[in-house]
Amino acid sequence: MDASHLMVTGGAGFIGANLVRWLHRRHPRTRITVVDKLTYAGHRRYLQGLLDTDEVDLVVADIADREAMERLFSRSAFDGVFHLAAESHVDRSIDGPEAFIQTNIRGTFVLLECLRQQSEDCRFLHVSTDEVYGSLGEHGAFCETTAYDPSSPYSASKAASDHLVCAYHRTFGVDAVITNCSNNFGPYQYPEKLIPVVIRTLRDGQQVPVYGDGGHVRDWLFVDDHCLALEQVFRSGQSGRCYNIGADNEWTNLQLVYAICDRVDAILKRPDGYSRDQVTFVADRPGHDRRYAIDAGRIRRELGWRPRVDFEAALDRTVRWYLEYMTRIWGI
């Protein structure tokens, strides 16, 4: 990857921190500036060991703060921006949509404005979600030409930011690419999302709430495979293109919860079926999309990307990581 200085927004969050670690490992001479507001989901400790190096630094700032971003761009000649900073929890967007509008839409606008005013060439990789497409039936998959049909304030805010990026590419010639990925899992995910919530709840011997009948389907992607895809899109993706990233790995929520149950029981040496008995069903959340599935054919054909990590092994690794590190990192 031919880049001497990169910005990673949201680089102290779940996917962002994994991406910074990935890029530093593969391109140790590339300087990386992490820009993160350090809200509840972002922590310096996610970057432990990296901030002690000369190549990685952290700027604590809000991407929606135009003056702060203009100062940062004026003193740094970035070769590329990996834009991952976002409010991303659907339930939180239902309870309080305003933060999603501010960060996901205005924040993206501010970055694009700074980028188009910078004279040097700089590629903008906008990391989005498959949730912008809405809900699927039992068959089919989202492709890059699927019409947007967001169901939650979160997905609507990401859809709006996707459209902004496309408009800035077409109107102002900003060198931009967009990725829409399926559900990620792996280390450092804040324990409000499904997989870490289930692990923590089972560890503590509590009941595990599952929305509706547990039949909602998601395509699960290990975060390292996502990082590989982002690197390849940044390096070789066609400007103005969107690339869907998915592992063709569909699980119902209930299937996934049961798989975690069995792993927790094995690791904690509990009787078979102990954790499955803790599963309980609760009222479905408003606007809960029934099924997501990604057609990742474009990124496979054009860039040669494929997921490399076996799902079962990655889930095993993830469950063990949370059981070991949840208390150390989040004190829970």
259 pLDDT tier (thresholds 50, 70, 90): very high
Q: Which two tokens stand for residue 255?
A: 């299937």
Q: Are strands 5-9 and 56-60 parallel, antiparallel or unpaired?
A: unpaired
* pLDDT at residue 192 in the model: 87
> Apex CA 65: angle with CA 31 and CA 158, to 5°?
85
Write the DSSP string, 49-65: TTTTSSSEEEEE--TT-
The answer on pLDDT for 87 being more than 70 is yes
118 pLDDT tier (thresholds 50, 70, 90): confident
Q: Determine the Cα–Cα distance for residues 168 and 115; give it in Å rounded to an integer.
A: 10
Distances (CA, A) of 55 to 32, 76, 91, 108, 201: 6, 14, 36, 25, 38
Sign of CA dihedral 44, 47, 53, 56: negative
Q: Determine the Cα–Cα distance for residues 122 and 116; give it in Å rounded to an integer.
A: 9
CB 180 within 8 A of CB 129: yes
The answer on pLDDT for 89 being more than 90 is no
* pLDDT at residue 90 in the model: 87
* pLDDT at residue 119 in the model: 60
Pick the catalytic residue from 62, 87, 130, 219. Answer: 130
Q: Determine the Cα–Cα distance for residues 36 and 212; give it in Å rounded to an integer.
A: 35
Q: How does pLDDT run across 29-85, given as a tens digit for each residue?
A: 999 999 999 998 999 999 999 999 999 999 999 999 999 999 999 998 899 999 999
- Half-sphere exposure for 100 (CA within 13 Å, toward CB): 19
Buried b (16+ CB within 10 A) or exposed e, 263-296: bbbeeeeeeeeebeebbeeeeeeebebebbbbbb
Average pLDDT of the chain is 95
Pick the catalytic residue from 87, 131, 162, 225. Answer: 131
Q: Determine the Cα–Cα distance for residues 289 and 150; give it in Å rounded to an integer.
A: 9
Q: How does pLDDT run across 173-193, given as a tens digit for each residue?
A: 999 999 999 999 999 999 989
The answer on pLDDT for 279 being more than 90 is yes
SS3 230: helix
Q: Which two tokens stand for residue 313?
A: 């092994």
Q: Which two tokens stand for residue 144?
A: 């890059």
Mark whether 46 is an active-site residue. no
- Domain ranges in the chain? 5-190+221-247+292-309
Pick the catalytic residue from 36, 87, 133, 154. Answer: 154
> Apex CA 196: angle with CA 195 and CA 199, to 5°?
90
CATH class held by domain 5-190+221-247+292-309: alpha beta
The answer on pLDDT for 1 being more than 80 is no
Q: Residue 27: which residues within 8 A CB-CB, separation 6 or more?
A: 1, 3
* pLDDT at residue 121 in the model: 85
The answer on pLDDT for 251 being more than 90 is yes
Residue 218 β-bridge partners: 251
Q: How does pLDDT run across 292-320, given as a tens digit for each residue?
A: 999 999 999 999 999 999 999 999 999 99
